[in-house]
Structure 1
Amino acid sequence: MNPMLLQFIAKADNTSAIISAIIFGALVLLMILSARRGGGGGGSRRSSYNKGSFKKTGKNLGLESHHIQLLQKAVKDNNIANPQRLYQSPGYLNKILQNVISDVEDANMSRGERNRVINEIFEIKRRISRGADQVKRYGHTKNLKLGQDVTVYSKTLPPAQSQVTGNLENHLAIETPVSADGSPMKYRPGATLKVRFIRDSGKVYVFLTKLREYRKVDGIDNMLVDHSDKVEQNQLRKSPRREFNRPAYFQPVEVITEGKGKKARRRAVVNKNRRFLGQIEDISRGGCALYSRNPMRKGALLKIRFDFASGEDISVFGKVRSVEPTKPFGGLMHVAFTRVSMQHLNEIQSYVYGFFEE
């Protein structure tokens, strides 16, 4: 079986047993490292808590035993008086997990092992976030806060990024999007718009509304649209996602057959003669939403290249799961990643979970 072909059509390898062994080994290394850092000082306060309750909460959120063990070690190392706070406060959990990642970076292990352990730390974050957010809902646009990033869709203009600038009694104020040349995008009053936004650690919501009027406030052009009590969740991916809105290049990947009969072999090849520009609207560990004026068909394979503001260059391979046509042209491709290096996957997760900012 050709490895290049398998990277596109095969499911990810089940490495849970390997990861578990690595996690346990990493725990030993981290304990040694933490003891050295702590200098053996006997005056530090030790955390005392109900370990049974902590384990039960973790299991209810979907954590595995080695996840909980790693968190328990973090509780001890950071002298956390209220460990349940790790399950309740996303910001506090980020802070503690960043400390754990810092210890992993300093530990004596190979880069491959280090990347796998860090990936498992992000898995802890993903599971806790997913379990905690199941109870959250957005039933009405009156719940939207000022500054919320949104994407506006219409039948006449391409998708555009904007933000909520006001939440009035009868209307929602959205800053009028601007085109590439900096001029305001003008939608017809009374036009139906679809507005999309991301909240709750990566859940996507959409609602339909009508544009009522334009109004300038403090020199800023705003659109007043109707409120809606039908805000629907539109999450196609299991993993949390985050707005990205950065350019990307993508190329088709074709599977060709070489040889005949029993000697026939299939090989995946990147078409270097065709390259298209798009924009990644949001991203997660498992995929992205990629807008382009030249979308590929459902089921197509592709290679995507993009970078972070830090300059980190990322390459991923993926498969188009679905395409949403956008008027007057183009489409939004929902891409599932089929192959991405562990290092790049960790870079993506670090951004998605807010461990570093663009």
Structure 2
Amino acid sequence: MVVKAYGAPAAHEPLAPLNITRRSVGAHDVQIDILFCGICHSDLHQARGEWAGTLYPCVPGHEIVGRVAAVGNHVTNHKPGDLVGVGCIVDSCKDCDECADGFENYCDNMIGTYNGPTPDAPGHTLGGYSQEIVVHERYVLKISHPEDQLAAVAPLLCAGITTYSPLRHWQVGPGKKVGVVGIGGLGHMGIKLAHAMGAHVVAFTTSESKRDAALELGADEVVVSRNADEMAAHAASFDFILNTVAAPHDLDAFLALLKRDGTMTLVGAPATPHPSPNVFNFIMRRRSLAGSMIGGIPETQEMLDFCAEHGITADIEMIRAQDIEPAYERMLKGDIKYRFVMDIATM
């Protein structure tokens, strides 16, 4: 099946229209007519060869929302016409402890929605900047949001699960004081989710101009991290901090805000390492520094259901397929509030 897509022919070439081939629907496959695809920072880095190992042509996109067009003979959980999503994972070994526990995201053989090995042409996976995709049923997720929210659901498949998973794992909820560092694509979802979970949410930003926006997202308080007095007022008081910043910065300033047995979890991936934190910030109050990466399929479904129940979607700006390169440039400048979503009908 030949379909239209947008992809990068090479590292130093802009994304352009392509024709790609999708495999025939196998016994356990689901064919999806893609309606919308979110734009993630990782799409840009992979397409432009800024991360090692990009395979070309590169068709990015792992925040996919669409409608089931066809299913294989053995598929029981999905049927034509269903609204579904596909996130960052389209395959894994299915046999290891991680897969058995529903944490396919930590499987050593996890296959990404794009740039992963596959027997399908051209030998690596091609993502959601395309009209159609064929995915094994295990990795297809049900969407129960209203249809008029579908575009804003797309970023939940990456930004949503990336923030939901650590919030859930570290048992964020009523009675917990939770910090969210950074108010961008990830951070704005972290604020919404932590608020819906019932926590007291404090948003951290370097910009005074983002104070009102953070409060509108659901933050109970906002701290400008460059203001020493504002930071000091929260010393040793947080149960959990979700750090979404994808640039190297001083982790000690935030570790000092954790109470005894508090944890800060990193979900932002900087291009160069953070400055090493002071070991005494851990020792003196038994604090922890952790990391988290997206989520497994069961947890991603749980996140989608939670968001539907609480009316949570991403704040988005819709773009046409042909406007992807200008959108990338705006994303690099932080000129987006808070996620771009591609309307596949414009392809």
TM-score, structure 2 as length reference = 0.27
Rg: which structure is higher? 1
Relative contact order higher in (CA < 8 Å, ≥ 6 apart): 2
Bigger fraction of residues in strand: 1
